[in-house]
Amino acid sequence: MNEIYASENAAERERLVRLTSQLTKADLARELDDGWTIAAQLAHLAFWDQYALSLVEGWERNGFVKVTLVSVDALNEAAHLLSDAIPPPAAIQLAQAAAEAMDRKLETITPELAAAIEAGGHIRVLRRALHRREHLDEIEKVLGA
């Protein structure tokens, strides 16, 4: 695994843990600019880390195959509906656990698989920090951090 990616992923995972450990029930219920609550946004992060983990595990078993998403926006809207149904404290636990599991998995993949994922255009699977950073920045902005 690329050490820069691993370092960035770890930094954003640690940031996620620090930020979520300070959130109150009221914070979790706050709405972001896009209409999602902070809790739903955390569940969203958990979904996408888990999705990336599932991709990597499948590629480890069966070899790399480029994945074409039908519509990220449609997946996000479907996940939003489900995210709102998750109890806010569970959203924190899910986000932390999925980030941890994904980062641990990325530490064990072969250089060949990492190169195939990158060459196949799925860099965000390897660089989970990019997605985490987007949403953690948004949450911190709403919280005034």
Q: What is the CATH code of the structural domain delimited by 3-143?
A: 1.20.120.450
Give the pLDDT score at 70: 67
Give the pLDDT score at 48: 94
* pTM recorded for the entire structure: 0.92
Domain ranges of the chain: 3-143
Alpha helices in the chain (DSSP H): 3-21, 25-29, 38-62, 72-83, 88-108, 111-119, 123-126, 128-143
Give the pLDDT score at 113: 96
Low-confidence residues of the chain: pLDDT under 70 = 1, 69-70, 145
